[in-house]
Amino acid sequence: MATPIGNLGDITLRALDCLAGVDLIACEDTRVTAKLLGRYGITTQTTAYHDHNAAKVRPGLLRRLGAGLRVALVSDAGTPLVNDPGYKLVREAVAAGISVTALPGPSAVLAALSLAAVPTDRFLFAGFLPPKGEGRRKVLAELARVPASLIFFEGVSRVADAVADMAQVLGGERSAAVARELTKLHEEVRRGTLADLAASYVDTDDPRGEVVIVVGPPVEAAATEADIDVALRTALATMSVREAADAVAGATGAPRRAVYARALALKGDGR
Q: Which of residues 75, 149, 175, 193 is near ligand SAM by CB under 6 A?
A: 75
Among the candidate windows 65-73, 136-144, 176-184, 247-255, which touches ligand SAM by CB under 6 A? Answer: 176-184
For residues 131 and 44, what is the distance between their CA atoms, to the nearest angstrom?
A: 39
One of 77, 129, 140, 263 touching ligand SAM (CB under 6 A): 77
Per CB under 6 A, the list member of 4, 78, 86, 216 interacting with ligand SAM is 78
The Cα-based distances of 78 to 40, 73, 262 in angstroms read: 18, 12, 53
Residues 150-169 that bind ligand SAM (CB under 6 A): 153-154
Binding ligand SAM by CB under 6 A: which of 10, 161, 181, 229?
A: 181
Residue list 90-119, contact with ligand SAM (CB under 6 A): 107-109
Minimum distance of ligand SAM from residue 74's CB (angstroms) = 10
Q: How far is the CB of 261 from ligand SAM (least distance, A)?
A: 50
- Residue 100 has φ and ψ, to the nearest 5°, of -125, 135
Going by C-alpha positions, the residue among 101, 116, 123, 211 that lies closest to residue 161 is 211
Shorter beta-carbon distance to ligand SAM: residue 90 or 264: 90
Distance CA 66, CA 230 (A): 63
Distances (CA, A) of 174 to 158, 169, 192, 242: 20, 11, 8, 33
With vertex at residue 150, the alpha carbon angle to CA 100 and CA 199, rounded to the nearest 5 degrees, is: 140
72/89 Cα distance (integer angstroms)? 11
- Nearest distance in Å: CB 253, ligand SAM: 33
| Interacting residues with ligand SAM between 205 and 234 (CB under 6 A) | 210-212
Size of the residue set binding ligand SAM (CB under 6 A): 21
Q: Which stretch binds ligand SAM (CB under 6 A): 10-18, 85-93, 174-182, 244-252?
A: 174-182
Residue 69 half-sphere exposure toward CB, CA atoms < 13 A: 15
Min CB(4)–ligand SAM separation in Å: 10
256 binds ligand SAM (CB under 6 A): no
Which among 154, 126, 153, 155 is positioned nearest to 141, based on CA atoms?
Answer: 126
- Provide the binding-site residues for ligand SAM, judged by CB under 6 A: 75, 77-79, 82-84, 107-109, 153-154, 179-184, 210-212
